[in-house]
Every structure is written in C-alpha cells, then in structure tokens.
Amino acid sequence: MFSRARRIAIPLAGLMAIGLAAGMVGGSAANATSPSDVVSKDAATPASQAVQFWTPDRIKLATDYDANLDATSRGVKGSNSTPDGPPGTVAPIGEEKTKKVKSKQVNLPNTVGRVFFTLPHTNPAHPASWRYCSASSVQGKYRNLVATSAHCVYDTKFNTFYDNWIFIPSYWDGNKVWEGKAPYGIYAAKTFNAHDDFVVKEDYDYDYAFVNVFNGIKVKWEKVNGKWQLTRKNVGRLGDNVGGQGFTWNRSTKVNVYSFGYPAGEHPDGDKPFTGRTMKWCYGKTTPMPEAPKYNLQEHIGFKCAFTAGASGGPFLYNYKSSTRTGYLIGVNSVAWDTDGNDRYDRISSPYFNTDTYKVYKAAANRWSGNMP
C-alpha cells in the first residue's frame, strides 16, 4: 500500500549502457517570447542584493524546504507516464562530440549544489524565511542554466516566485566560516522558467523549473566591527566553471538513474539521518508511481531511496559516467514516499519528462543573462 507521499526532492543516479544521440539546443533568440504554457519571469530581487543577503550566518541557519503536506495514495496502480513523442537528447557540456568512457567508481558531480532563497510575504531577516533546496547545472546555449523542482522556485500559497534566490554548485559545509562552501562561486537568479500547469494549477506532474543565472561571483566574507563585509570577483559562466548535465525526454519509465542532493529533513517518525552539509546519492531503477490526488499527481516515476527534505530539486541522472561526472537529466527530486506505512521515506519520485518538459527547457536554454548588474 502506498500510504503517504510528501513533497521533497533527493536524487540518485544509475548507469545505462544504452547510448544517447548528442543533440543541440534548438535555436530561438536569446530573449525570445516563451510558449504560452511556459511561465518565464525575471527575479524580483536584484542579483547583487541576493548575493549580499546570504551571509555565512544565514547560510548556516537556512533550513530544508518542505511544505509539510502529506498525500495518501490508496492502491499501487501505476501512473500514466508515457512518451508523447519521439525521445530526444541534448548532450552534456563538453561531450557534444565525445565518445563514452566507462567507470566503476561513483564520483560526485560538480554540477550539483544547493539553492538558497527566502519565502515571500515573510520577514527576510527572520531565520524562518531562510530556506534551501538542491539543484544542478544543465546544458544551455549560454551555459547559464540551473535545473530544480518548481516548488523550489515558486510559492503556490502566495502565487509568486521566491526572493533572494542563489545557486552554489558543489556546496560543501566545511569547518571554516565560508572557505570551501562555494568553490566555484555563487550564481544569482535572473529568470525563472516553469510550466503554467504548476504555477496556475499546482500540478506536481509539472514540478520542474529551469533558472537562468547571472555569471558567478567569488566572495570573501569578513567581520568588521561585528558586521559582515564582502569582497567580490567575477568568475564567469556557470557551465564554463562546473560543466552542465545533458537533457533527455520521452524515455522509458523504467531506467537506471542516480539521484544527487542535500537531504536534511526528518522522516515522518522523527528520525533525522542527514545533515544537508554534504552531497548524498542514491541509485536504482525507476518505475511508474501511483497517483497522489492531493498533488494532482498522475505521471511520476520513482525508485527506492530514503532521501528527505532538502534533496528537493536534485537531479535524476540517466547514463551517468563517473569518469566525466556527467549524464542526462531525466528528472528532478519532487516527492518522497512512505510506501509501506512504517513512517520512513523509502522512495523518491520525479515528474516524467516529456515534450511539455522540453518546451520549458528549450525556452530557458536559449535565454542570455551575462554579468550581474
């Protein structure tokens, strides 16, 4: 019996021997109008303000984002996840024309990191507003694209995108105040791109988003007279610094994937096995998930993984190769499931990536951002 589904995202990846044809991002103009079912909106918070907002103290105190909503799914009937067109792929950055290299060791991807944001209509100076999810850099025309869950960029309660949104790839919570946490810089949001069915209908079959980010900033924080002061240095485009995962859609619902993320939340029984300080991973074979009416969820795929809140937005990576630390984004951590009713999460699921997903991705992948103003 699938007894509980809870909004949360954490990824685990699996290796596939099947080859993928290297595709390229289709060619619309840098700031072309999005299709009618794609919602694209510039971030309300100025990028410089967002970077400066996230002092080391606030980074430390940010909590995993979880809407604390449970959905009960009676029965184990599979969902309606099926391709709605031919499969497609876009190659990872740097592998557009390269051959596959096999590797047995699981190396963590540089592309995955944590996103930080504040909740709208709350006091941003209060710790209750400081939240985080997981995300990954993905291939795009201007190498400025981050993939995550839609619930990690958009607040359905207040019908608005989050404030002070930044991405820190390869985040690591070291012993020092800041060094080691942002080895490749900090990337502030320029434009959020999500599907209209999530923004308007709160439909978790569309719980994915792609965020264009400005070029990165390397920061150094110092306390002067009890107040944080920072110095900044431009480090260029996200994809040039950490690479970017490929993208694929309309694939089989039964594929081996790795999922990566930064879980930190507790299980329903109160146990808290993760800290969110370092990246974790899961591996398994996906299957169609049951319907979860409370989320209007009918087309998810999932696999065995005990990730908790904080992993939301992390990638499902198909055909992941440890030698290059790249694969193909085929999903994002969206919902955690307790399938046997023992108050422990045991599966993680993602919306099935189909042609609708590709529309959102393509609109985002062709948007330019450049340096922070």
Contact at 8 Å (CB) between 80 and 298?
Answer: yes
Provide the pLDDT for residue 96. Answer: 58
Provide the pLDDT for residue 359. Answer: 97
pTM for the predicted model, two decimal places: 0.86
Give every residue of the chain whose pLDDT is below 50, as ranges: 1-24, 27-30, 67-76, 101, 103, 175-180
Whole-angstrom Cα distance, residue 160 to residue 199? 9
pLDDT tens digits for range 39-83: 999 999 999 999 999 988 899 899 987 643 333 343 345 556 666
